[in-house]
A and B are shown apart, each in its own frame.
Chain A
Amino acid sequence: MEAQILGMTAIAVSLLIGLGALGTAIGFGILGGKFLEGAARQPEMIPQLQVKMFIVAGLLDAVTMIGVGIALFFTFANPFVG
């Protein structure tokens, strides 16, 4: 039973970290592309766009980072194993 729980936990941890990283990567790809579009249209706006990109990047990966924390908690201190 414990081996099954550990196996399922390993799959869950892989999904949490992998899908979180995938979502962040897609978001950052779109964000970077839009930044380059905006920079090409109005180069004088680049400093403002850089600050806005920093804020959106923080919002983008906040949930992912929480997921990473939960995944590593399950890895090192699995609460489902007695």
Chain B
Amino acid sequence: MHYSTPAALKRPHVYRLLIVQLAVALVLTVISALTQGYGAAQSALLGGLVCLLPNLYFAWRAFRVQGARMARQIITGFYKAEAGKFGLTVALFTIVFITAPPSNPAFFFGAYVAVQLVHWLGPWLVLKRSST
């Protein structure tokens, strides 16, 4: 019996969502730097990265397993990805608040929330332009 290799499967276009999240974080960092200075820019960048890095892990972990015969493994992968994302978010917040407390919490949380809310564009970014 012939099984297709995982490399033969087409990867979905979820990376577009992550690229838009990175772009939002960078734009907010530049806006903060131009309007409020270096401290606010650093806070905005940290906020964006605290949101982006767990999402990168989630996307990588959730799509490690693909294929029509892999339903249970896909579900297990999603559960592990979500648990890892939750733990990574808590860990990154803790690391930031202990090692480099944001000088401007409003820009830190503003950037975090803005990058997080890019998920609301997910149906448009991933589904509309995707052939899958």
Contacts and interface: CB of A to CB of B under 8 A. Distances in A.
User: Which one of A44, A48, A54, A75 has the highest number of Cβ atoms from chain B below 10 Å of its Cβ?
Assistant: A54
A52 to B, nearest CB: 7
* Binding site secondary structure of chain B: helix
Interface in A54-69: 54-55, 57-59, 61-62, 64-66, 68-69
B127 A51 contact: yes
A77 B122 contact: no
Contacts of B75: 32, 35-36
Nearest to B9: A47
12 contacts: A21-B86, A24-B86, A32-B75, A32-B79, A36-B75, A47-B67, A51-B126, A58-B119, A58-B122, A59-B119, A65-B54, A65-B86
Interface of A: 17, 21, 24, 28, 31-32, 35-36, 39-40, 43-44, 46-48, 50-55, 57-59, 61-62, 64-66, 68-70, 72-73, 75-77
